[in-house]
Amino acid sequence: MSPINRRNFMKTTAALGLTSLPSTRKSLALSTEQDPLGIRDEFHVTRNFAYLNISLVGPMPSVVHDAAITYADKQRLNPAASYFESREIKEQVRIKFANLFGANANEISLLFSTSDAENIVTDSLDLKPGDNVVVDELHFATTFVLYRNLEATKGIELRIVPHVNGQARIEDFEARVDARTRMISVAWVSNRNGYRHNLKSLAELAHRHGGYLFADGIQCFGTFPVNLNDLGVDFACGNSYKYLLSSWGAAPFYVREEHLNLITPDRFGHNQVAKNLPDFHFELEQTAAKYEHAGLIYGTVAQLGAALGFIGEVGLDRIEKHTVGLAQNLRNGIADLGYEMFTPSNNPSHIMSFWHGRDAGEVQRALEQERVSITFQESGALIRASVGMYNNQDDVARLLKVLAKLA
């Protein structure tokens, strides 16, 4: 396997104005058994932890850290220049995200969070009493907060699909969708147990009844190949700080081109202005950029540009094959130790969840002793382990070693 071509990668980041500081790092490594994708040295967290916690916060590879320092130094040395350059950085990131995930650049905006995106969409749907929205139990908590509020304020009905053995089955969605269903909303890959939805089937179901599909892609983007246009999803949003390997505050928001007139901004500001007209009138952006009402966290946007280039160089198909394979090995090992799994066995996911059945404090101390990082959920009863491109079989073995002692 050939190493990632750092020269090509730096050409990409040069388009974003992120290469003014010299790099002192060596070329990326060839693939080895300990480093199957040839990128482990990019992630300094691997020197200290078996970091199986990317679903909580993603570690920053060195190329992204370099981009952050470069941007900060530009702001320190020439603040005015960095201000004007930031808009170009944003445009380049929009293009790179669209190219990597099968969209058009005019369908992509950058928000602060996935919650912003779903609020923008629901504000535009003119929800009325008796309308319903269908979600499933494996969705993230924020969505339930949003729709419970809309139940109280708009009179809609929230219909919740229960999971069956960790799966949200299409037939259970079909049983709850009808002519008054305005939207199906799912976590594309569940933060709870890694269940991966079939978006194409859900989009077809929603459209058959005149509704829309919203996908929270925060646990998805950066983990496997995606073509948003081909899937038929109407709206999707991710964020920079998990599998997109950057800091907080840059959430790529996809609105299918045919819906750009339907989905209107929920707030307004100078960033949406495409043209100034006489007497303080304005012509606003007509692309998805119209949802960006104010300045962004441009330091994070610069990081995201570098991260998208890095992910593209590694290859989403390689990332998926590696992470899903490791996660399946982990799942099999945990199940063999007798733990109760929450992640279904036939699910191609990089996330594994299980009930440990022990005192959470005892488990946490044992994990800390072996320097294994995971997430406790469900009031400490559930462990979620998530695999990133930088993990290897030794990381999996360290977690299994702890669990074997506790079994």
Q: Is 47 exposed, middle or buried (0-12, 13-18, 19+ CB in 10 A)?
A: exposed
Domain ranges in the chain are 87-310, 317-406
In the prediction, which pLDDT does 108 show?
Answer: 98
- Do 244 and 307 touch, CB atoms closer than 8 A? yes
Task: Identify residue 161 by its one-letter amino acid code.
Answer: V
In the prediction, which pLDDT does 29 show?
Answer: 57
In the prediction, which pLDDT does 18 show?
Answer: 39
Q: Is 87 exposed, middle or buried (0-12, 13-18, 19+ CB in 10 A)?
A: middle
Q: What is the pLDDT along the chain (407 residues), one digit of tens a residue?
A: 334 443 344 333 333 333 333 333 444 556 788 999 999 999 999 999 999 999 999 999 999 999 999 999 999 999 998 888 898 999 999 999 999 999 999 999 999 999 999 999 999 999 999 999 999 999 999 999 999 999 999 999 999 999 999 999 999 999 999 999 999 999 999 999 999 999 999 999 999 999 999 999 999 999 999 999 999 999 999 999 999 999 999 999 999 999 999 999 999 999 999 999 999 999 999 999 999 999 999 999 999 999 999 999 999 999 999 999 999 999 999 999 999 999 999 889 999 999 999 999 999 999 999 999 999 999 999 999 999 999 999 999 999 999 999 99
CATH number of 317-406: 3.90.1150.10
In the prediction, which pLDDT does 11 show?
Answer: 39
Domain covering 87-310: architecture:
3-Layer(aba) Sandwich (3.40)
Give the integer Cα–Cα distance in Å for 328 and 343: 10
In the prediction, which pLDDT does 293 show?
Answer: 94
In the prediction, which pLDDT does 323 show?
Answer: 98
In the prediction, which pLDDT does 30 show?
Answer: 65
Q: β-strand 281-284 against 273-277: which pairing, if any?
A: antiparallel
In the prediction, which pLDDT does 83 show?
Answer: 85
In the prediction, which pLDDT does 87 show?
Answer: 87
